[in-house]
Amino acid sequence: MAAITPAEFKLLADYIYQISGIYLEAEKKYLLETRLGPLLAAYQCASYRELYDLAQRDGGDRSLKKEIINAISTNETLFFRDQKPFELLKHKIIPDLIDRRRPGSGGRTKIRIWSAACSTGQEVYSIIISLFEVLGSLNEYDFYILGTDIADEAIGKASYGSYSKFEIERGLPKKVLQRYFQPVANGWRIKDEIRSLAVFKKFNLMEPYTHLGTFDIIFCRNVAIYFADQDKRRLFQKLARTLAPDGYLIIGGSESLTGIAPQFVARHYLQGIFYQLQGAADPPAAGDRKRPAAAGAAAGPSRRRPPAKPSSTAGKAGKRRPTAADRPPPPSPPAARPENDSPPAGSEAGRCEPSSPPATAGGEEAGGFLARLDRTPPGSTPLLAELQGGRQPATPLVLGAQGGRQPGPSLLAELARRADETAAAGDEPEPDS
């Protein structure tokens, strides 16, 4: 097989770009040799320059031009390729469109879908099968499903709907095969009820779109990767004009419109991505909708409350914590305590072990203690205030923790118990003078 020279590559690359919009960079020399080598032998050309000259002179039905397009086009495809777009179609896009398109007079819901660069038809038939899977019957709907491709050979195969065993086994579950296909001599063919819903046409995406009409859903996957940047921008500008204002655009999983098509905004659903025109109102997913307020809920802003649970002494669950308005009037000043406020005789400094284990869990101890502190009469000095003021309480609860000693089961529980004992005795410590 003859090797292609740099000059021959430039001639053929420019010619291919002119007739198909496919942009070939210099490092794709091997691709031209691989794809066009068989044509070189079939037309008995000694060089790629001779093949180019023959293509330029090709008249009539221009069969060589068609063969070059068929050879250079990437027809790599399979049923339900990348799964996520079809999950989006079934669980998000189709239900939303039906809700918005359903006619009030009881007529059939109209939805138009376009598979651009559909290759040999697997994407189109995967779309139709997805519709049957999610809707059961399509009798209540008016679907128009168009598949286009630049290659005549691909369009012919897609229209016939026949596939080899190898093509069928790539991505098609067995139950789907049995339900929507019928066996033929060399493989399987899509059933007529599915095939009749699809329309296939040859179309170059670089041409004007005006005669195509408007579509609710456009699949344009793994196509723009073969275009130069300026052609990508033109492509998505035309797709934007062809898409319905609330329509959906699906591109390849490895593709992005960032910096290419600012008129589109990406939306995420079910780990998949689809695009809509800027300003398109997309209803929130069911899990994202705001829940209505409970009946009988009080109007106005709600007060933030601490997350602590109420203790068993604060009443049944659901009762509010006491506030300043609920506190009793201040009592008379307590009797003076001797200045020598030393620990009681026989107590071991630094110990933090309650005489009996707490009766409730740690979270309830904390909540109950805070609730009891909240009920402490104004003017008195609770145990925590004593600690914060630097004074030593009756039993130095904190010293054990600060000195590295292991405290009892719960420091907060012990604080709560001490606070209760102090309040019961009516003997509260005197504030520092």
**pLDDT reported for residue 194:** 95
pLDDT digits (tens, 9 = 90+) for 24-63: 888 888 888 888 999 988 999 999 999 999 998 876 556 8
Domain count, the chain: 3
246 and 103: one domain? yes
60 and 96: one domain? no
89 and 231: one domain? yes
pLDDT of 430 > 70? The answer is no
pLDDT of 139 > 70? The answer is yes
pLDDT digits (tens, 9 = 90+) for 297-355: 333 333 344 444 444 444 444 445 555 555 555 555 544 444 444 444 444 443 434 44
Question: Does residue 144 belong to any structural domain of this protein?
Answer: yes
pLDDT digits (tens, 9 = 90+) for 372-413: 444 444 444 454 444 445 444 444 444 444 444 444 545 556
63 and 88: one domain? no
Question: Does residue 343 belong to any structural domain of this protein?
Answer: no
271 and 320: one domain? no
Range of the domain at 88: 84-282
Could you tell me the two tokens for 25?
């960079």
Q: How confident is the model at residue 120 (pLDDT cuts 50, 70, 90)?
A: very high
48 and 97: one domain? no
